[in-house]
Amino acid sequence: MTRLRVVHRCTECAATHPKWAGRCPSCGAWNALVEDVEEFGTTGRAAGGSGRVNRPAAVARPITEVEADTGLPIPTGVPELDRVLGGGLVPGSVTLIGGEPGIGKSTLALQVAAARAASAPPALYVSAEESAAQVRDRARRLSALDGGLWLLSETQLPGILTALDELGPGLVVIDSIQTVADPELESSPGSMVQVRESAHRLVQEAKQRDAAVVLIGHVTKEGGLAGPRVLEHVVDTVLSFEGDRHHALRLLRAIKHRYGPTTELGVFEMGQGGLAGVADASGLFLADRGEGIPGSAVVPIVEGHRPLLVEVQALVVPSTLPSPRRSAQGLDQGRLALLVAVLTNRAGLPFADRDVYASVAGGLRLGEPGSDLGVCLALASAHLGTPLAGDLIACAEVGLGGELRTVGHTPRRLAEAARLGFSRAVVPASAPDVDAPIELLRATNLAEALGLAMSGTTSRSGRSAPARQEVGALPLG
């Protein structure tokens, strides 16, 4: 008979030690010891590491003889989640949802479980943090009370497995994986060993029972998932639930997805009745946009197959610091510094003595190059104190030489802008024509784009901005 014990294993040399130390006594590596578990026999000698159990060896086969997986995604009943998952949850898959406390992870999982409860087999919601009465009260507020939804308040892994044997559910929600513990392990709940071994066992059960499992995970203060990195490796899908819990907007995106792309974005709005999908996300992002304000530009982006219009805001103020600030929210800090340098060198706008602040409204994060021109226009508008026209958008990548490059899906971006009432777009000279009621203002470089965007606008001093050829000598307000 064997039993399990907790050891500390070096990630560099794999040596095991009974206690943690800052430096591995075997190889001398610093901060390399992590918790692990190994089997120990009755004779006192180690029977194996990481809790592995000897199983029959698998037999290699030609790939042409392997049966194709016919599992198709089953809709969850939450359209925005189905959009991100590529149709729904695949039977036998394990999905991990991470997010900050209070963001709505449990609300989303409960709504999914209630939507699936109407179909057979039933859905099981395992609450390892809240009591059954608390979960029922939330289900009542969400109108999620359904006889097909079973509730289990349990933190012990054997109790959860017993419920799976009794019910045979098609969907299992574990809220949360960090609070589930196996009593056979000596470490405390939430430790790296407990999280890893519990996740491994639940993944095995999902595959064997052909049931979809949803794990809710905590995040650290840095924003990463709490627990061992292997947790993200053993699951099939990792979803990130983002947003400010003090605001209604929530964003859901896939970080890893073995059954589809990771480029889709789900947009939710938190209300009294729970999370509701936002069909017109562009309208929501631009709902509170004020016109006639310097430093504001609208940019069309594409998240997966969904075109979106978002507002980029910039603020440029005099600085007394030796190294002026470059602050970015929703933008890459290095990309912002690069665009500021291009504006200075290629368009003649000095930023050496100015603090620069740039932000993306709505909580989105722009990672694609198609937003470059919009960011540059917002920075120039803030620098000059000249607002951009309210019916203008910008769509192009900006190179180090100041040249404008066409980005993918330009027709779809412009069609979405035309749908929302925008009538002009600054695009590269090589951009394709579009079948939409929108005028294309073509430019070959950043200086020309600034001249087209600023032409006919009026600065805060009441003077009209000069045309394209004078863009390098624009008044500084």
* The predicted structure's pLDDT at residue 319: 94
* The predicted structure's pLDDT at residue 53: 45
- pLDDT one-digit tens code per residue, 19-37: 888 888 888 888 878 877 7
Higher pLDDT, 170 or 42: 170
| Range 274-278 average pLDDT | 93
- pLDDT one-digit tens code per residue, 149-206: 999 999 999 999 999 999 999 999 999 999 999 998 877 888 888 888 899 999 999 9
* The predicted structure's pLDDT at residue 52: 46
- pLDDT one-digit tens code per residue, 397-448: 999 999 999 999 999 999 999 999 999 999 999 999 999 999 999 999 999 9
pLDDT beyond 50 at 299: yes
pLDDT beyond 60 at 474: no
Question: How far is Cα 166 from Cα 410, in angstroms, rounded to an integer?
Answer: 54
* The predicted structure's pLDDT at residue 133: 94
- pLDDT one-digit tens code per residue, 201-241: 999 999 999 999 999 998 877 667 776 677 888 999 999 99
- pLDDT one-digit tens code per residue, 64-89: 887 776 678 999 999 999 999 999 99
Question: How far is Cα 32 from Cα 13, in angstroms, rounded to an integer?
Answer: 9
pLDDT beyond 60 at 47: no
* The predicted structure's pLDDT at residue 2: 59
* The predicted structure's pLDDT at residue 3: 67
Q: Other C-beta atoms within 10 Å of 287: how many?
A: 10
* The predicted structure's pLDDT at residue 456: 56
pLDDT tier for residue 121 given thresholds of 50, 70 and 90: confident
pLDDT beyond 90 at 13: no
Is the whole model's pTM more than 0.75, yes or no? yes
pLDDT beyond 60 at 55: no
